[in-house]
Chain A
């Protein structure tokens, strides 16, 4: 064996052992970074539901999987448990047009476990991934937050309203355009529509968002009312 080959061979073996050493260390540290102590029976059951329905071959989780549907790593912190529950009960209710997720007819126990699992996943320390969008500068952010408008628009996006509604050309087309909704409707009408869409139009396919906290509903109403 040539001496260069010997050196290469030894270096390769050293790298393999180094990798094993780093694995031992990583697994040790990961119990803290993933909050392994919070892996309750319900969370683990949620992982089983996730795998049973092969969710990972449409969605990415921690950025891994198929790219057909949104990444779910932070879906719990972005959407909140009530939204996720409602969506999992009937995906078409939240996204009535465009690319569809099949209704798997999950039992309420399965949905609870899956939501608990997504909650646990959203708390994993992912070294800052996914990155925050850079569309809004910190200065704009602070300014808008002071006016209260940003909080409402965040809720609007987090609840997926833009799947159906459009604001300034951005969003879905199956529901009314909300660009100037503030000049057409008053605050109490908007709040009533959010709570019970079928009150005014019995045929409406819009789901009720009555489950949102009152403060969040108020911020959403303020935001929509500001769109003159």
Chain B
């Protein structure tokens, strides 16, 4: 750590980890409800409430992780303190309070009623305030240091501005359901396949420079090209959500062509990451777990978002798979690879730097967490995929009744529950490992001297 204000990153990242654990708990509750018809919590936490909490926590912990990492990265890149650490803490406080209010509200049917955007309007406005504080804080830090602004930080800011602007389209109530969904996708799709990709690409670029020692010039050129291609394919690619929602027929063409190209930049990111990782072999000291999570994230991002997404993006296939568990399989795989794993990778890069702890040899707990989380996620995704294929065949092709087909899918839901339980264990392990790495070392415990570059203002 070079700058005091970077400490707020630790608070963001640890809060994110706690919410991640809670998200997994609600995920297990959800799959249990799928398996057993009798639900003792039917009138306390019905499925819609536990699902709303599960997906809200997902967005929430990822946003906290990306924002925390942004605070750390911007200070690191621009070699400066953040404009105001106090504002950063105020923002975190508003976000956490809004999150608690939203979750408690859902239990009492205080709900806007659109998936992912269930937060009542008052809470959405509080989130907007927090986002404005964040943008002001990061923007002013950059403005004060505009002469040292890097392309990576500019891309990051661009992503954050896009994220905030797109959120606004999720706030109003629209009379027409099709119009409501038209704009709903501007939040959901243009977040995960637009704004978040910008943020992720710049944070990955920055983290790769840190853990592989690759030159900035090489990384920056690639990040720019990747980001442009993400937007070029992703913006009109929104059209693959406009096939069946009351929208014009031409989206079947535009959505198919552009979304089919969406895996290209993701593949570029994978190739790029692997190239740079190979370069890390020459380094004297390697942040093994940070590197492992970064590399695995690039691969699972490509598989989950690229391959799984491409698999059902063409209208001829999507017509049958739309609205089935195949989408759930894709959602879990893509979110985990593109953002969940990235968030954990960033934690493995940032938290030890903040605490000054050694990362060279990883540790048994960290590796067990890495293996159990990733393998159980693959099992979960496969089980959901098989359940989805059963659903498409019996329900869509054969025309069987929904609930009857669900009974055929039960065995695969049970596999999801087993995989989810292993995933829960992995989450506890990664949490404990990262908590250990984030504890600041007392001076007496110092193993090595701080590196010479830790002098502020160099």
Identify the A interface with B (CB < 8 A).
2, 4-5, 8-9, 11-12, 15-16, 18-19, 22-23, 25-27, 29-30, 33-34, 36, 39, 44, 47-48, 50-58, 60-71, 95, 97-100, 102, 121, 124-136, 157, 160, 162-163, 170-172
30 sampled A-B residue pairs with Cβ under 8 A: A5-B225, A15-B236, A15-B258, A27-B179, A30-B182, A34-B176, A34-B177, A39-B175, A47-B175, A50-B113, A53-B113, A54-B49, A56-B113, A56-B115, A62-B246, A63-B322, A64-B184, A68-B48, A70-B403, A95-B403, A99-B33, A99-B406, A100-B39, A130-B322, A130-B323, A132-B399, A133-B396, A133-B398, A135-B399, A157-B401
A51 touches B114 (CB 8 A): yes
Q: Does B254 sit within 8 A of A, measured CB to CB?
A: yes
CB closest chain-B residue, reference A33: B246
**B324 located at the interface, meaning its Cβ lies under 8 Å from any Cβ of chain A in the complex:** yes
Known contacts A54-B106, A60-B323: A70-B247 contact under CB 8 Å: no
CA distance A50 to B401 in the complex (A): 23
Contact A26 B175 (CB under 8 A): no
B323 in contact with A170 (CB, 8 Å) = no
State the CA gap A54–B117 with chains docked (Å). 11
Q: CB-CB < 8 A to B38: which residues of A?
A: 100
CB B191 to nearest CB in A, in angstroms, measures 15
Q: B115: which A residues are within 8 A, CB to CB?
A: 56-57, 64-66
Query: In the complex, which residues of chain B have a beta carbon less than 8 angstroms from the beta carbon of A51?
Result: 111-114, 173
How far, in Å, is A180 (CB) from chain B's closest CB?
20
CB-CB under 8 A from A29, the residues of chain B are 247-248
Give B residues with C-beta under 8 Å from A: 30, 33-34, 37-39, 42-43, 46-49, 51-52, 106, 109, 111-115, 118, 173, 175-179, 181-182, 184, 221, 224-225, 228-229, 231-232, 235-236, 238-239, 242-252, 254, 258, 319-320, 322-325, 327-328, 396-404, 406-407
Pick the contact of A100 from B37, B225, B248 — CB < 8 Å?
B37
The chain A residue with its CB closest to the CB of B247 is A26
Contacts of B322 in A (CB 8 A): 63, 129-130
Quote the shortest CB–CB distance from B144 to chain A (angstroms): 25
7 tightest Cβ-Cβ pairs between the two chains A and B: A51-B113, A133-B399, A63-B323, A57-B48, A129-B244, A8-B228, A70-B402
Q: Report which of B47, B243, B258 forms a contact with A129, defined as CB distance below 8 A.
A: B243
Main secondary structure of the interface of B (DSSP, over half): helix
CA distance A66 to B252 in the complex (A): 23
A11 contacts which chain B residues (CB < 8 A)?
Answer: 228, 232
On chain B, the residues within 8 Å of A160 by CB distance are 401
CB distance from A44 to the nearest CB of B (A): 5
Q: Tell me which of A34, A54, A55, A69 contacts B246 (CB under 8 A).
A: A34
Q: How far is the CA of A228 from the CA of B184 in the complex (A)?
A: 52
Residues of B within 8 A of A36 (CB): 176
How far is A34 from B245 in the complex, measured between Cα atoms in Å?
9
Contact A52 B109 (CB under 8 A): yes
Q: Is the CB of B48 within 8 A of A99?
A: no
A4 vs B181: C-alpha distance when bound (angstroms): 36
Given A19-B236, A34-B178, A53-B113, are A170 and B399 also a contact pair (CB < 8 Å)?
no
